[in-house]
Amino acid sequence: MRRTVPLVDALRSIYPRDRILTRPAELAPYESDALTGFRSRPLAVVLPETQDEVIATVRWCYRKGVPFVARGSGTSLSGGSLPVEDGIVIALNRLNRILRLDPEERIAVVEPGVPNLEVSRAAAPYGLSYAPDPSSQAVCTIGGNVAFNSGGAHCLKYGMTANHVLGIKAVLADGEVVRFGGESLEGVGPDLVGIFVGSEGLFGIALEITLRLVPRPEAYRTVLAAYRSLLEAGEAVARVVASGLLPGAIEIMDRLSLEAAEAAMGAGYPRDAAAVLIVELEGEEPEVESELRQLLEVIRPSGPLEVRLAKDEAERQKIWKGRKGAFSAVGRLSPDYLVQDGVVPRTKLAQALEEIERLSAAYGLRVANVFHAGDGNLHPLILYDGRNPGELERAEALAGEILRMCIRLGGSITGEHGVGVEKRKYLAEMFTETDLAVMRRLRHAMDPRELANRGKVFPPEPVAATVGA
Amino acid sequence: MSPVGELVRPSTATEVQEIVRERRSVLPRGGGTKTALSTPASEVTVLDLSRLSGVLEYDPAEFTFTALAGTPVRAVEEMLEAHGQFLPFDPPFSASGATLGGTVASGLSGPRRYRYGGVRDFVLGVRFVDGTGALVRGGGRVVKNAAGFDFPKLMVGSLGQLGVLVELTFKVFPARRAHATLRVAYAGFEEAVESLVRLGASHFDLEALELHPPGILWVRVGGLAESLEARIARLVAFLGARAEILRGEEERAVWEGAREFAWVPPGTCLVKVPVTPRRLAGLEARLARSGALRRYSVGGTCAWVAWPGELGLLHRMLVELGLAGLCVLGPPGRGKLGEWEGEAFARRVRRALDPHGKFGTG
């Protein structure tokens, strides 16, 4: 028996027995998230059904000094919802009500456990949708999206989660319940929603989130162009970006991910291509029709093997199904994989892809590339077999080299997956000790005991937390 | 002890750090176009950032630029225009001399915020001096970045109370090739709001949508020249009302005037009030009685009020309506009006970034 059993027993004042999980078999599904290489067993998992239960739990944690990790569906690719050994997991999936959907004000007020796609489903009858569309949107929750400022294929035009959250009610790590932001697109005073979104759970837990809904576009034109090399596809992106068009999405898949998507889903991508470029235009019918003509003029001289236009919504969905399912499809090619999501300046995309190819060969590990090319957001999937001694370490070293390349090229170590546990040490290479010290100070203003999602974001070896104080 | 009205003009970030460390209380100022926010109300050192000016990096192919915070918005706009690009959130007071830093710190956006997002959606990176004198960087120089806390967004609307901005990175967009504006007159406010809401939920991609009471809607469209006429025709059919169509220089001037608040009478205060379409009627009823000129911008989510009288009256009105206001033009020290949401959270942020209270409490 672990020494902390009496501590967990105390949670019974908040939860009935069946909503506190403590047995190893019950805890197993919560031991890791989509970053499968990392595992950790928490003391207990609690399953709140109301906001009050979450608040009571956070206050209890604060009194007892117990670290907690809030978790949605566990789709984090950076280990953002990895449990803490002597802490508890607050699983928010049952806090999944859409509290209000107001088509006239074009907002939805939701609890954190609502899956991303549910919001768009609920808004669809009014011709509205929730724009951020992570590939895991069918399962990932709004709470997790808020914590990690999730993106998706269409952030090129619409921005990330932070661009679509208007207001938040949250319980901070010391138990205070705060509200900020509101229902208007505009605000006054510092952008508090902006700093909370993407704070990776280090300030507390969002209980109620006011989301902005946008009208669904009247028309789409989805173009798929196949190329002989990844480099050619990368260069085509630069042409499209420079053309002055503002597509909803610009995506690239390389040969390995195409083969995987084809095998898993039969997406119907061209078989002889080394890379495929997907460009989606959206907007008013007459405008996208004109833009399409212009887009095709831009793409033609880039030397594609083949250019296809989705004839109808079914064909469009097929293209996107292959793209959004690419991660799990590539997963089938290999027992394990690591996904990075570093960002490079868009003009350095081709250079970055060449470097990844070189690194892949040097490390003897396959790397598949499926990525948001329009905003320079790479997604190299590093395939490895964790059963082979040393292979995980080699994969991590390769991932690290890719991140350092992103920093060197003037980019970022993460575009949308967050730092989590996985990229902690690289954060210190992107920011100075002073930058990190001020970030820590802000964290301590919300969470003086470092209970909320302890061990994430900041490098394991603490830099002096007292700079300037 | 700083004398009243002390004015310092640092030309490097290091000098800004020294000033913040040495002085008891500082008020950053850019172009001074937002008088209510940049004029000292008490004994403070005014930190004039006009010497911290200039573009540090601009690669048109990258659609981003980095500049010092005291750089005039107009200079940046001219630079971008030469490459067919623009700052889509229409920074206000650009012709009057607003700076990038002042625009971010005041958190103001103009008419095209409706289509493209506000200043918060375009700031990618920031360097600022916090209340301890530390030079801090947040965000980055690429269009997408989730590493570390989002200081760039936090600085939007921070009113100089969280730090002195010294350098900013923005993303920009390709300019629209052609524009046109529809001016549609309705019988009354209610009809105009109804039409505004209907347009907002429609699939029309509008650049800007404004309501000038009692019943005029201004609808701006932009895009490729070849499809513009077809789009206008569809829009007119959708509205089912007689629309006057403006083009060319005349059209541009309408929106330039809106950005510069040319309609605000001299001597009146200018107050920004975030609102939502459904709450417009309540606000309009009260404002119409007060005799204040007003415009409802950004699809009815941002009210601009030219308040002629005592601000206390407007403050009480906003409290009763449960709305917040920010006085932009007017007497110093009276920026915050009505009910501000999020004070408890904001206090914690201030304590972290300005532990010694160098930037005042507003």
Query: pLDDT by residue (tens digit) across A168-194?
Result: 999 999 999 999 999 999 999 999 999
Order of strands, sheet of A219-227, starting from the edge strand that comes earlier in the sequence: A306-309, A219-227, A275-283, A249-254, A367-372, A380-384, A336-339
Q: How far apart are CA B199 and CA A106, in angstroms?
A: 12
Residue A465 pLDDT class (50, 70, 90 cuts): very low
pLDDT score, position B362: 46
Residue-level pLDDT at B119 = 98
Which residue stretches of chain B have pLDDT < 70? Answer: 1-4, 361-362
Q: Which amino acid is at A258?
A: L
CB contact under 8 A, B352 and A106: no
- Quick one: pLDDT at residue A116? 97
Contact A375 B144 (CB under 8 A): yes
Q: How far is B157 from chain A (nearest CA, A)?
A: 4
ipTM of the modeled complex? 0.96
From A287's Cα to the closest Cα of chain B, the distance in A is: 6
CA distances from A243 to A116, A155, A352 (A): 32, 19, 22
Query: Taking residues A364-378, what's their average pLDDT?
Result: 93
Number of A/B CB contacts below 8 angstroms equals: 283
CA of A385, closest CA in chain B: separation in Å? 28
Give the CA angle between residues A125, A130, A134 to the nearest 5°.
130
Cα angle A60-A62-A66, degrees, rounded to a multiple of 5: 85
At residue A7, the pLDDT reads: 79
What residue type is assigned to position A353 of the chain? L
Between strands B55-59 and A107-110, the pairing is: unpaired
Report how far apart, in Å, the C-alpha atoms of A128 and of each of A154, A216, A314, A439, B202 are.
Answer: 15, 5, 20, 36, 9
Name the residue in chain A with its Cα closest to that of B343: A180
φ, ψ dihedrals at B5, nearest 5°: 75, 15
Asked whether the beta carbons of B345 and A192 are under 8 A apart, the reply is yes
The string of pLDDT tens digits covering residues A64-122 is 999 999 999 999 989 999 999 999 999 999 999 999 999 999 999 999 999 999 999 99
Local confidence band at A272 (pLDDT 50, 70, 90 cut-offs): confident
Asked if the model's pLDDT at residue A468 lies above 80, the reply is no
Q: What is the pLDDT of residue A8?
A: 81
The pLDDT value recorded for residue A464 is 47
pLDDT value at position A107? 98
Q: Tell me: pLDDT of A2 over 60.
A: no
Does position A409 have pLDDT exceeding 60, yes or no?
yes
Q: For A271, left (φ over 0), alpha (ψ -120 to 50), or beta?
A: alpha
Report the C-alpha gap between A9 and B174 in whole angstroms: 60
Mean pLDDT (whole number) for A126-141 = 93
B202 vs A contacts (CB less than 8 Å): 127, 215
By the CB < 8 Å criterion, does A128 face chain B?
A: yes
With vertex at residue A193, the alpha carbon angle to CA A187 and CA A194, rounded to the nearest 5 degrees, is 100
Q: Which among A309, A250, A257, A295 has a CA at the least distance from the CA of A277?
A: A250
In this predicted structure, the answer to whether residue A210 has a pLDDT above a threshold of 80 is: yes
Residue whose token pair is 């669904």: A216
Q: Do B223 and A287 touch (CB under 8 A)?
A: yes
Answer whether A215 touches B (CB < 8 Å). Answer: yes
